[in-house]
Amino acid sequence: MFEDKVVYQIYPKSFLDTTGSGTGDLKGIISKLDYLANLGVDYIWLTPIFPSPQNDNGYDVSDYCDIDKRYGTMQEFENLVSAGNKLGIGIMLDMVFNHTSTQHKWFQAAINGDKYYQDFYIFRSKPTNWQSKFGGPAWEYIENLDKYYLHLFDVSQADLNWDNKNVREELKKVILFWKKRGVKGFRFDVINLISKPQHFEDDLTGDGRKFYTDGAKVHEYIKELVSDTQIGNMITVGEMSSTSLDNCIKYSGENTNELSMCFNFHHLKIDYKDGDKWQLANPNFNELKRLFEYWQYGMQKGHAKQALFSGNHDQPRIVSRWGSENKYWAESAKALATCFLLMNGIPYIYQGEEIGMQNADFKRIEQYKDVESLNYYKILRDKMDKQEALDILHARSRDNSRTPMQWNNDKNAGFSKGKPWIKVNDNYIRINAENQLNDDNSILNYYKKLIQLRKNNLALTKGSIQFIETGFDYVIAYVREYERKRILVMCNLSDSEIEINFEHDKVDWTWLMGNYDSKLFTEKLLLKPFECNIWLA
């Protein structure tokens, strides 16, 4: 199920502001549904729009069953759902169930001495040495309880205690609340971190993640949540942090009664030095190919489903990261899209990716808003000078993908008539949706054609995948096959021209599409910089 669907991720805060507040809103999303329907999108996933102090832009939820006033009203949300329905676009909401904001009434009751709610969280008299994923210790002291609470993320995001049945019951109510309002699916934030160990101990070799990642009861809890709320037939995607193939086969396997698909991030770490996000390295395309093969073959064999994606609101822009910002900007954006979106799984497009949006153009630390970036800036500054730390943020900050959507070349890229909450990239004059809508050769129209191609070919939705060795690390090539129909996808992810030898391959391939001119498949195949082609046998 869902292989023929395409999901578009919206970061509401940065999508479109209709009030001049500087923050995007629900009405803005409604006004762009036509744009999304035209692109060929079936679902939109909204990152959290619930009331929140916004320390982590909504991933710190203070009330799961309401809409943050910044974004609009419940009525407007219902309007969005029905407007979406008319266009065949379903709404997916982001369930942040690993933690709540410390402003949530449960946490407030807990720290004011309510024992019932203290058991909703993880309070201990003695902290461990675990590190928060945003830097610094994972435990925070509460004086009047003389106890520490666990926060795997920001100090304002307290981890929930899923071993408490009452917590699980409350979270089920949240799902039912939104289901009733016509929501068509859910994304579950870091859902593989919910099952914590029985005993907390120091991690002598790492930051603590080995004790809570894919924890002992995680599958049991997901099954219970899915079955008690009857969302087994809806589109559900779990965000899996540092997960393993075996676990993902359970999370999203055909008859495991858990989720319909999962995100994993291993392929987006090929440019981390020694696995450290905050140390720069060139992308290792050999490793990328190995990871694609491992996950695609593994999930295929396990009858499990993967979300296909190259970016989201936590990742730098892919075209800046592995593509080309200048000379081969459009070519590289198209090649990367082709490579990612035609594999076996369900394509996810992050807002602005379809027009080749690039990393933020920030020069000063004051321009950054993201809590993780600001925390790490301090940590980096202890080790290096200012410019070096800023260079790392420029490449790695989550704000890179959070700058406002570039709609047109009006003031603020058409995003807002007020002062945007975060700086618009100055390149909006050149890179914007309006410019691309009427240009047949644009990245936007390429995405549209790619989506149509995928939907019109069972080989690309239901087909198996087989990777092809070309002798070049940065050429990703694979064949999708269904009922003897074969489609060959080949992408040169480098800025050099290369020649590949296919003397042994005698298949007659017909060209379907690509990012340069139509190309015959020949024994000696010359690929231009970032050239990609799709052929049919």
Minimum CB distance to ligand TEU smaller for 157 or for 332: 157
DSSP 520: -
Minimum CB distance to ligand TEU smaller for 68 or for 239: 239
Nearest by Cα to 196 from 206, 211, 181: 211
Least CB distance to ligand TEU at residue 402 (A)? 10
Q: Which residues pair with 90 in a beta bridge?
A: 43
Q: Which residues 406-465 are close enough to bind ligand TEU by CB under 6 A?
A: none
Least CB distance to ligand TEU at residue 131 (A)? 12
Report the Cα 112 to chain-centroid distance in Å.
36
Residues 167 and 97 sit within 8 Å (Cβ to Cβ):
no
Minimum CB distance to ligand TEU smaller for 90 or for 238: 238
Q: Is 399 in the site for ligand TEU (CB under 6 A)?
A: no
Minimum CB distance to ligand TEU smaller for 250 or for 313: 313
Which residues are within 8 A (CB) of 35 and not within 5 positions of it... i.e. 6 or more apart?
433
Least CB distance to ligand TEU at residue 143 (A)? 26
Token representation of residue 284:
């290792």
Q: Token pair 């002062």 is at which residue?
A: 419
**φ, ψ dihedrals at 442, nearest 5°:** -70, 165
Q: Which residues 6-35 are close enough to bind ligand TEU by CB under 6 A?
A: none
Nearest by Cα to 34 from 87, 93, 97: 87
Minimum CB distance to ligand TEU smaller for 223 or for 269: 269
Report the Cα 133 to chain-centroid distance in Å.
17
- Binding residues for ligand TEU, total number by CB under 6 A: 13
* Residue window 109-138: x/- pattern of binding to ligand TEU, with contact defined by CB under 6 A: ------------------------x-----
Minimum CB distance to ligand TEU smaller for 221 or for 474: 221
3-state class (DSSP) for residue 205: coil
The CA distance from 469 to 446, in Å, is 26
* Identity of the residue numbered 138: A
Q: Is 59 in the site for ligand TEU (CB under 6 A)?
A: yes
Minimum CB distance to ligand TEU smaller for 158 or for 479: 158
Q: Is 153 in the site for ligand TEU (CB under 6 A)?
A: yes
> Which of 179, 217, 223, 277 contacts ligand TEU by CB under 6 A?
277
Least CB distance to ligand TEU at residue 502 (A)? 39
Token representation of residue 462:
């239901």
Least CB distance to ligand TEU at residue 363 (A)? 22
Largest CA distance in the chain: 76
Q: Is 96 in the site for ligand TEU (CB under 6 A)?
A: yes
Q: Is 107 in the site for ligand TEU (CB under 6 A)?
A: no
Least CB distance to ligand TEU at residue 313 (A)? 6
DSSP 376: H
Least CB distance to ligand TEU at residue 451 (A)? 24
Residues 209 and 242 sit within 8 Å (Cβ to Cβ):
yes
CB-nearest residue to ligand TEU: 59
Least CB distance to ligand TEU at residue 67 (A)? 18
> Which of 17, 56, 214, 353 contacts ligand TEU by CB under 6 A?
56
| Parallel, antiparallel or unpaired: strands 7-10 and 43-46 | parallel
Q: Which residues 308-367 are close enough to bind ligand TEU by CB under 6 A?
A: 313-314
Nearest by Cα to 289 from 149, 46, 475, 164: 475
The CA distance from 524 to 31, in Å, is 49
Q: Which residues 210-249 are close enough to bind ligand TEU by CB under 6 A?
A: 239, 241
List, by residue number, the catalytic residues.
189, 239
The CA distance from 534 to 537, in Å, is 10
**Sign of the torsion angle spanned by Cα atoms 321, 327, 328, 329:** positive
Nearest by Cα to 264 from 288, 240, 246, 280: 240
Token representation of residue 487:
């489609």
Minimum CB distance to ligand TEU smaller for 56 or for 331: 56
Which residues are within 8 A (CB) of 14 and not within 5 positions of it... i.e. 6 or more apart?
24, 351, 402, 403, 404, 405, 415, 421, 422
Minimum CB distance to ligand TEU smaller for 189 or for 214: 189
> Which of 16, 36, 41, 190 contacts ligand TEU by CB under 6 A?
190
Which residues contact ligand TEU by CB under 6 A? 56, 59, 96, 133, 153, 189-190, 239, 241, 277, 313-314, 372
